[in-house]
Amino acid sequence: MQEQQIVSIVNQQREFFNSGVTRAYQYRVECLNKLKVVFKRYEQELNAALKQDLGKSEFEAFFAETGFCQHEITETLKKLKGWMKPKRTWTGLLSQPGTSRIYYSPLGVNLIIAPYNYPVNLSFSPLIAAIAAGNTVVLKTSEMTPACSTVIQKMLEENFDPRHIAYIPGEIPETTLLLQQKFDHIFFTGSPRVGSIVMAAAAKNLTPVTLELGGKSPCIVHHDANLDLAVKRICNGKFMNAGQTCIAPDYVLVHRDVKEAFLQNMAQRIRDCYGDDPEQSPDFGRIISANHFSRIAAMINLEKVVVGGQTNAETNFIAPTVLRDCQLDDKAMQEEIFGPVLPVLDYSDFDEVYQVVSKLPQHPLACYIYSSSDAVQQELIANIQFGGGCINNCIMHVGNSYLPFGGVGESGIGSYHGIHGFERFSHKKSILKSATWIDFPLMYAPYKDKIKFLRWILK
C-alpha cells in the first residue's frame, strides 16, 4: 500500500470522527451487534485460517480467539450504556457549592497493531473496546499470519465503513508508514523490542500509546502446593498455542522438596495430553515461522531434557519440552521463550525466588503462584513486581473481563478488557459544575486576611 493511500485513509477517518457519528450510543451498539453477527458468519473460515497459520485445534480457536471475542462483545453490549454515563464523584470543600463528574469522550482516530500469536483475539478485543468508546480504528495485522489476515480483511471490508474501521494489508513497510501518521492513540501488542520502536515513533507526534508486551513470566510451585493440580494447569497454560502466549509461564521455580515429583508428574501429564508422539496430536500447534523455530530449538539443551526435545524443521514442530536443573546463564533463561520449552529451576527459600526474578531483564507480564498457604500467596504477591496473574491457576486471569489486563514497566503500558478497555480508549473529562446562587469571595483579590481561612480549608 502506498503512502498516499494510508494518508488518505487516516484523513477520512479523522473527518468521519469529527462528524460526531461514532459518538452516538446507538451507532456504537449497531456496530457491535453487526460484529457479533459477522463473527458467527466467519467462524469456520477463521478456524481454518488459525489451523493453517498456527496449527490451532478447533477448541483452542474458539476458547482463546473467536469465542473469547464473541463473549467480549456480549458483555460490552450489556454494560455499555452504564459505562457511558458520567460518573459523579466527591467535591472538595474548596470547590463548594458544586458537583463533580467524570465524562467519557472517545480519543479519536486509533491505530491497532496486532501480533501473530492470537491474530483474531488480539485484533478484535481492542477493536471492540475502541468501537464501544466511540472511536474510529485503523487495524494492521501481522504479516506472519496470512490466512488469518485475509479472513479478517474480508470481515471488515465487506461489513464496515472504512471511514470507521479500516484494514491495512501489508508488511513492515506499511507498518512503518502507519507509525509516521498522526493518530490520537496507538494500541500495540507484541515484543518489547518492537514496542520500543512503536513508542519512539509515537513520541514524534506526542501520540499516547498502549503497549501490551511480554517478559519471562515465572511460575512458583511451593512445597505445600496441590501438585497434581499445579502440573495440570501449568501444562495447559504453557503448551496451549505451542507456547506462543505472552502470559504463558516462561519458567518454573519449584521448591526442592517437591522438584522430582513435579518433574515426573509433568512428564506424565504431557504424555497424557499429547500422546507419546505429540507431532501427531490434533491438539498441539506449530511454531509460526522458520526463524522462530530455529530460535526456540536452539534453547533446548538435550542433556537437561526431562521430556520432549523432538523437533521437525520442515513443519516448524517443537515437542512440549521440559528442562531440569536450569541456571540463569542457560540459553532458555536469556530471553522470553515464546514456545513450548519449559525450564525448571529449584529453590529452598523465597530470597532465591526474588533473586532469580530480579536478575532477569524486565518485569514479568504474569506470575503464577501455587501454594495452599494464604501467607505464602500474599508474601509473593507483595514482593514480585508483575502485570497480573493467578493463584493456583495459570493464564485464566486473562479470561475475566472484570480484571484489567496489562503489564508493568518493560512488560507493558496500560491495560484493557471490559470496562478497562472502554476506559483505555476514552478520555476522562473532569467537570466541576459550580452553583450560581451564591458566590464566595475567598478566591478573589484582594487577598488581605483571607489566607487564614484558606489554611483552615486546606489543612
- Position 191 scores a pLDDT of 93
Q: Which of 43, 212, 336, 423 does the annotation list as catalytic?
A: 212
Q: Of 190, 189, 125, 177, which Cα lies nearest the Cα of 152? A: 125
Judge contact between 135 and 109, C-beta under 8 A. Answer: yes
Judge contact between 119 and 143, C-beta under 8 A. Answer: no
Residue bearing cell 497434581: 228
CA separation for the pair 459, 451 (Å, rounded): 12
CA separation for the pair 151, 145 (Å, rounded): 10
- Express each pLDDT in 43-82 by its tens digit: 999 999 999 999 999 999 999 999 999 999 999 999 999 9
**pLDDT band (50, 70, 90) for residue 176:** very high
Active-site residue flag, 69: no
- Position 1 scores a pLDDT of 79
Question: Beta 415-416 vs 305-307: how paired, if at all?
Answer: unpaired
Does 400 have pLDDT greater than 90?
yes
Active-site residue flag, 212: yes
- Least confident range of 362-366, 368-372, 395-399: 362-366
Here the cell at position 448 is: 488581605
Does 340 have pLDDT greater than 90?
yes
Here the cell at position 305 is: 531434557
- Express each pLDDT in 9-22 by its tens digit: 999 999 999 999 99
Judge contact between 53 and 147, C-beta under 8 A. Answer: yes
The DSSP call for residue 273 is: H
- Express each pLDDT in 195-215 by its tens digit: 999 999 999 999 999 999 998
Q: Which of 235, 246, 367, 390 does the annotation list as catalytic?
A: 246
CA separation for the pair 111, 139 (Å, rounded): 6
CA separation for the pair 341, 304 (Å, rounded): 11
Here the cell at position 153 is: 480483511
Average pLDDT over residues 300-309: 97
Mean pLDDT of the chain: 96
Element (H, E) at 185: strand 185-189
- Position 232 scores a pLDDT of 98
CATH architecture classification, 218-406 = 3-Layer(aba) Sandwich (3.40)
- Position 201 scores a pLDDT of 97
CA separation for the pair 63, 76 (Å, rounded): 18
- Express each pLDDT in 426-455 by its tens digit: 999 999 999 999 998 888 999 988 999 899
CATH topology (fold) of 3-213+409-431: Aldehyde Dehydrogenase; Chain A, domain 1 (3.40.605)
Here the cell at position 24 is: 452516538
- Express each pLDDT in 122-159 by its tens digit: 999 999 999 999 999 999 999 999 999 999 999 999 99
Helices of type H across 57-188: 58-61, 67-84, 121-132, 146-157, 172-179
Helices of type H across 55-132: 58-61, 67-84, 121-132
CA separation for the pair 53, 56 (Å, rounded): 8
**pLDDT band (50, 70, 90) for residue 271:** very high
Average pLDDT over residues 78-94: 96
- Position 362 scores a pLDDT of 80
- Position 7 scores a pLDDT of 96
Domain ranges in the chain are 3-213+409-431, 218-406
Does 170 have pLDDT greater than 90?
no
